[in-house]
A and B are shown apart, each in its own frame.
Chain A
């Protein structure tokens, strides 16, 4: 049986005690699983992932990592802290905040350096990652001289280079060009087949379809609206529509224009959710 990497029980969290962000979340993430968290803007995806990375702690309920509860006490234990940071890598939604060193290269090497990882291994990892993302040419530049997409790639590299066992990525493909998105998806699949646990949040159902086996849908009420196997969730058109995850397409065939909600996936039964003709 696979280990439970993360288990959440009835977790509540609110910002500043006033702005509720998560209201009673239950979740279980097993070792080696590929999990996607989807939901509308403001449904609490980023908050959920920050909880997993131990950056914020639950107000109520508990979050456990490999059986140990994540709270202030756990992180004041140096050994646990080091071990946890070593095992869990988190890519922020806003790449801006993740790049704080003078040059990109230093930024990428910040994690391994802080954690005292093996130099030779880091070097080879760096080479692989930078080739995959095509950022070799950016190493000597400083973060404020990059485009947003380039920053995102650099932020990703800075986490991948630590080679963590659990990868948490907050909207890893937002704003990237198609071929880079493709590379990132491939990279995640590679990592996953190497036994890593991958948790991502996204709005992009294409990405969900390719990367995830388990999907959590966070609803507008800031609870888990549904969770289950990717196929089941993606074929539930009503659920997706209720959570802003589908969009209405309108196109024109000659004089005839029609709109239909459009699901970004290839399964049977999830195409053309509601067809209605106009004009």
Chain B
């Protein structure tokens, strides 16, 4: 058995486990049903306060401050019944996605001129790493990490329908909220379709044997997936209409702001104010 086959198996395996992960990461509501601090906040207050924190992160320019904010997000996760390892895994998956391509250039001397730490010699192009470059890089990564952490926290501790409803309170247009609501279902269906398509290809041809046929199957799939998923989302919408949906979800529980919510909002407002003050 050649290395190529091994590689294909590996790709296939990692693709399906990635899909499973994605489904879980985006759609599981399990965390939002646990009892914990973040879950107990009123969704409207939660959206507002987490926006405060994210803006504070955007403004702060010092590593210690960012470090504190990042620690705050981890502490929040811990008091919300989320395991530390689970949370780190969940957030750090997205961090490279956001950061790497933007952050790498600033490492090099071209963008951050300063004291030379060491130089990588890559044939014609030498990359000089400077102390300032490293500083900016760490700052950048920390900032992304803190932002992603807060965003993930907000997402996994709030039920999707509550989130949608709370958005309406902030005068986000109804059409937009509706589309988001459908998107949520749609992602799930879409991942399901990809999974099934993968399985059906596997059951028919054993596995994607060579690059050429693999490419053809993939090309065909993407086109048909697109059509199929459009059709499904239409049907989902029809199913919602059929049961009396008129564009705005009606929730069972009504939102109630408690004293705890106000204190928390005040605290995050304070963090934001400090963040802005120190950055100016």
Q: B-contacting residues of A (Cβ < 8 Å)?
A: 50, 53, 55, 78, 81-82, 85-86, 89-90, 92, 94, 96-98, 100-103, 106, 109-111, 113-116, 142, 144, 158-159, 162
Contact = CB atoms under 8 A, between A and B. Distances in A.
Contacts of A98: 239
A115 B244 contact: yes
24 contacts: A55-B238, A85-B244, A86-B244, A92-B235, A94-B235, A96-B192, A97-B235, A97-B236, A97-B238, A98-B239, A100-B236, A102-B29, A102-B159, A109-B252, A110-B240, A111-B244, A113-B250, A113-B251, A114-B243, A114-B244, A142-B29, A144-B23, A144-B192, A158-B243
Contacts of B241: 55, 85
B164 to A, nearest CB: 11
A102 B244 contact: no
Contacts of A109: 252
B161 A144 contact: no
B72 interface: no
A92 B231 CA distance: 14
A85 B238 CA distance: 12
Q: Give 8 nearest A-B pairs by CB, closest first.
A: A111-B243, A114-B244, A85-B244, A97-B235, A102-B29, A115-B244, A100-B185, A98-B239
Contact of B250 (A53, A89, A116): A116
B263 interface: no
Interface string B153-171: 0000001110000000000
Given A53-B242, A102-B160, A142-B28, 9 more contacts: A55-B241, A85-B241, A86-B244, A96-B232, A98-B239, A114-B244, A114-B250, A116-B250, A144-B188
Interface string B1-31: 0000000000000000000000100011100
Interface residues of B, number: 27
Which of A78, A97, A158 gathers the greatest number of chain B CB atoms within 10 Å? A97
A85 B236 CA distance: 16
A262 to B, nearest CB: 31
Nearest to B248: A114
Contacts of A90: 242
Contacts of B232: 96-97
A102 B158 CA distance: 12
Nearest to B30: A142
Contact of B246 (A97, A101, A114): A114
B58 interface: no
Contacts of B188: 144
Contacts of B185: 100
B239 to A, nearest CB: 5
B238 A159 contact: no
A94 B238 CA distance: 12
Nearest to B245: A114
B189 interface: yes
A60 to B, nearest CB: 21
Interface string B239-265: 111111110011110000000000000
